[in-house]
Structure 1
Amino acid sequence: MKTGITAIIVASGSSRRMGFDKLAAILNGKPVLARTVDTFLACPEITEIILVCPEGRFSSLLGGEIFTKPVHRVDGGAERHLSVANGLAAVSPDSQYIAIHDAARPLVSQADILATISAARQNRAASLARRVTETLKRTDEDDFTSEAVPRENLWHIETPQIFETQLIKAAYDHIIANHILVTDETSALQAHGHPTKLIPSTSPNPKITTPADLEALQTGNPALKNTDH
């Protein structure tokens, strides 16, 4: 009987918008990548980790780490969904669920990971997310406001995104066979005709995309002080 939960951590991006390797940036004494990996190593439900990243990044940022669970590295692809596909191909046959997480979200909490796992067990597919609370506007081609966009039932999608193994593999087989470009796994599930349950995040879970994002985390974000991150 399959009982494992595999975490696929996607860390193969080039950080072009940053101008340097954002996963090597130091947060509270550790590289971003190491902090993210440590969080999933500490999660009692996770049984293995597949790290999708270049070998050089792995050896330079994690080469001295002693892992408490199996950690395997695979190369990424030209697009994010191809990197995830490479990770899926390396998953243990004992894996019942797969949690896919962006390495550039180093502050995800144990509580939110566990809540998303629980929802995936009930619904086959679940993703951490947060509701849209800001006022939204649509503009014309010259960036002048043209209309308001109702924010009811709108969400910012985060990670981890957690799926029954058979379901996410079938969804990826579908999008790759049909040359469908997706930017996250909920989109792959949607293209395959399956909805994903969204779980509100209860603590900060930002994705580091720009230098300003990194600076905000490095200058005293209180989540860095929490012991479960």
Structure 2
Amino acid sequence: MSSCAIVVAAGSSRRMGFDKLAAPLAGVPVLRRSVEKFIAASSVSSVVVVAPQDRFDELLGGDFSKPVTRVDGGANRQDSVQNGLAAVPEGTTLVAIHDGARPLVTPEAIDRCLAAAAEHGAAALARPVTETLKRADADGLARESVDRELLWFMETPQCFQLPLIQRAYAEVNLCQLTVTDEVSAMEAIGIPTLLVDARAPNLKITHPSDLALAAALLNA
């Protein structure tokens, strides 16, 4: 099977106050680290980066050992993903859709997730909820506990057989739904996604402090 990674990197980093994808992580820009993980994954044949031209040129200039192409982003994340899906090479059977701001994903985890998608149709990296959960009222006062059994934090990549995710987004468009990840798009067509334990830290760079944490995890 031919697998293509779609790395979504079209956001504006408003919460960071600066371009988090260009931020150096142990001397390498966050976006480049993310892309390099897919280049290193044995199951990935090619990469499509959804990003502005200047960001692509600045952070991903130079040669890679696998084909890396670029497309523009859309008005929101789901539009950007669909632009990426439209650009996958002919003959692609599996896609791995990944947030460019998750630079710690491992090639081994990518391979496991794509293998699961090949077998089950849809698979996504995630991690079980281990913390105590509370439901609060409007004043921020804890009122009750929430059972954490069977709850997971969703991560990326989220991997799919290409016809399934194309069908899911067609339904999202038809019903004018807003989704924040591809697992939600699959839910729109009634197809469950197998959750694959990430096993290793796979945090998303969202706040400036996340850069320091990611650097510490890399050093460890």
TM range (shorter): over 0.9
Which of 61, 84, 88 does residue 81 from structure 2 map onto? 84
Corresponding letter in the other structure for 1:56: D
Asked if residue 114 in structure 1 is aligned to residue 111 in structure 2, the reply is yes
Asked if residue 74 in structure 1 is aligned to residue 80 in structure 2, the reply is no
C-alpha distance in 1 between matches for 2:108 and 2:43: 11
CA contact under 8 A between 2:136 and 2:142: conserved in structure 1?
Answer: yes
Structure 1 gap ranges (5+): none
CA contact under 8 A between 2:113 and 2:123: conserved in structure 1?
Answer: yes
Asked if residue 170 in structure 1 is aligned to residue 171 in structure 2, the reply is no
Aligned to 1:16: 14
Aligned to 2:151: 154
C-alpha distance in 2 between matches for 1:204 and 1:140: 31
Q: What TM-score do the two structures reach when normalised by structure 1? A: 0.94
Which of 170, 173, 177 does residue 180 from structure 1 map onto? 177
Output one character per residue of 1:169-204: Cα deviation in whole Å (capped at 9) or x when no partner: 000111012110000000000011110000111111
Give the CA deviation at 1:225: 4.3
Aligned to 1:39: 37
Where 2:49 maps in the other structure, the secondary structure is: strand
Aligned to 2:28: 30
Output one character per residue of 1:118-151: Cα deviation in whole Å (capped at 9) or x when no partner: 1111100000000000000011111111111000
Give the CA deviation at 1:42: 1.1
Where 2:5 maps in the other structure, the secondary structure is: strand
Structure 2 gap ranges (5+): none
Corresponding letter in the other structure for 1:179: Q
Kindly, what percent of the aligned residue pairs are identical?
51
Q: What TM-score do the two structures reach when normalised by structure 2? A: 0.97
CA contact under 8 A between 2:42 and 2:107: conserved in structure 1?
Answer: no
C-alpha distance in 1 between matches for 2:198 and 2:59: 28
C-alpha distance in 2 between matches for 1:177 and 1:20: 35
C-alpha distance in 1 between matches for 2:4 and 2:114: 11
Asked if residue 193 in structure 1 is aligned to residue 190 in structure 2, the reply is yes
